Amino acid sequence: MQKRKLRIGIVVGEVSGDTLGAELMRCFKEQGVDVEFEGIGGPQMIAEGFQSFYPMDTLAVMGLVEVLKELKQLFAVRDGLVERWQNNPVDIFIGIDAPDFNLRLSKRLKQKQLPIKTVQYVSPSVWAWRQKRVFGIKQNIDLVMCLFPFEKAFYQKYQVPAIFVGHPLAKQLPLSNPIQQARQALNLPEQAKYIALLPGSRRGEVERLAPLVFGAAQILQAKYPEYEYLVPAINAQRFEQIQKILASYPESVRTKIHILDNQHTESKIGRLVMDASNIVALASGTATLEAMLLHRPMVTFYKLHWLTYRIMKFMIKIPYFSLPNIIAGKKVIQELVQDQANPEILATEIEKLMNVEVAQIQAMQHLSMHKQLISGDTEDPVHAILQLLAVR
């Protein structure tokens, strides 16, 4: 009798999740597992044969207050997926990051008593804030796949099944990242001085944070005319949005800022831009991990709706919000939050990184953390998922 093909549902909400999803799909193929994937994916996953029922951008909403505007659409997408998998269940559902959406989707699948195992790949930041979510995870998630060892230790305290799989990028990215290679890939002159400006990949982030980075560039341009600025745009919509915001700045600033659009399915433009730059200024998120693994000196920032920030401020249990600082357990990069995230302070922090000695110290700290992430005892995610199915 012919063996039935394994069916896996996956939902991702942004570029970093798309990268992890595509890598996971490749791992299944490399291990010879006959499997098909469906749900919500991005261009990298679709290039690997993924069937996406909704655009990935549908879930690209950040913050507590901001989500309220999109609730109706988010509920419709969730209910649409549940209905599909009620009629034709997948064997397993893997939510990659996007915890506010994916944990609710897993809960609904459990409530419907569907024969679907649930996995959360990339732990929500329960160790940092809203720690009571761990009880919902224990009830609705069959396995958490953690990117960092300290996350597995946290779940063990609550008897939640969790494994440390490591971050694929830590293994993929070499311990040496010559700046010249990235510049050649982007057709940039090797001797120029570049500062990468990354205001985020979501529409709302760009709207809030592009004026911040362009304002900082305007201040620095007057003082350091030798520097130019690179801004990645992950798709045509972000390219158009960034261009529109930049159009309101003086021509002397506009000529120094180059918006680079994504040219391949793997959405690598952000990584290439960071790799090609002397200094990186970026919105907090997974991209800070990439910049760390590229060993580039950086400053990170974030700005939320004022009410979201006030609510979150009382929930956060750790002193840092950026991954490099959390991994290090100390402040290795500057974090600018809310009122501190203004053009003047950002320009000052970027200026500090123009000092060669300061930049080198930070780069060496990044290299040390990179080595730490690849030296841990990681487990194979494919093996863990197949084991979970065998238990059923």
Backbone angles phi, psi at 130, to 5 degrees: 50, 55
0.85 exceeded by pTM? no
Domains of the chain: 6-166+377-391 (3.40.50.2000), 179-374 (3.40.50.2000)
Rounded-to-integer distance, Cα 309 and Cα 338, Å: 8
Please give the pLDDT value at position 392: 45
Which distant-in-sequence residues (6+ apart) come within 8 Å of 380 by Cβ?
27, 165
Task: Please identify which residue in the block is written with the tokens 């996953």.
Answer: 45
Q: Tell me, what's the pLDDT at 291?
A: 96
Task: Check residue 224 and report its DSSP letter.
Answer: -
Taking alpha carbons only, the member of 91, 278, 308, 286 closest to residue 189 is 278
Gap between the Cα atoms of 365 and 358, Å rounded: 11
List of the chain residues with pLDDT < 70: 1-3, 60-70, 128-129, 263-267, 305-306, 308-318, 376, 391-392
Distances (CA, A) of 169 to 16, 327, 360: 10, 15, 22
Residue 42 tokens read as 């991005």
H or E stretch covering 119: strand 117-121
Task: Judge whether 339 and 309 are in contact, CB under 8 Å.
Answer: no
Residue 1 confidence (pLDDT): 42
The pLDDT, as a whole number, for residue 284 is: 86
Task: Tell me the CA end-to-end span of the chain in Å, nearest whole number.
Answer: 21
Q: What is the dihedral of CA 3, 21, 370, 213, to 10 degrees?
A: 180
pLDDT digits (tens, 9 = 90+) for 53-101: 999 988 866 555 455 566 788 889 999 999 999 999 999 999 998 898 9
Nearest to 11 by CA among 76, 73, 77, 65: 77
Spatial separation of the C-alpha atoms in residues 205 and 14, rounded to whole Å: 12
CA distances from 171 to 23, 33, 120, 371 (A): 12, 22, 21, 9
**Residue 106 one-letter amino acid:** S
Torsion of CA 74, 287, 167, 50, to 10 degrees: 40
One-letter amino acid identity for 217?
Answer: A
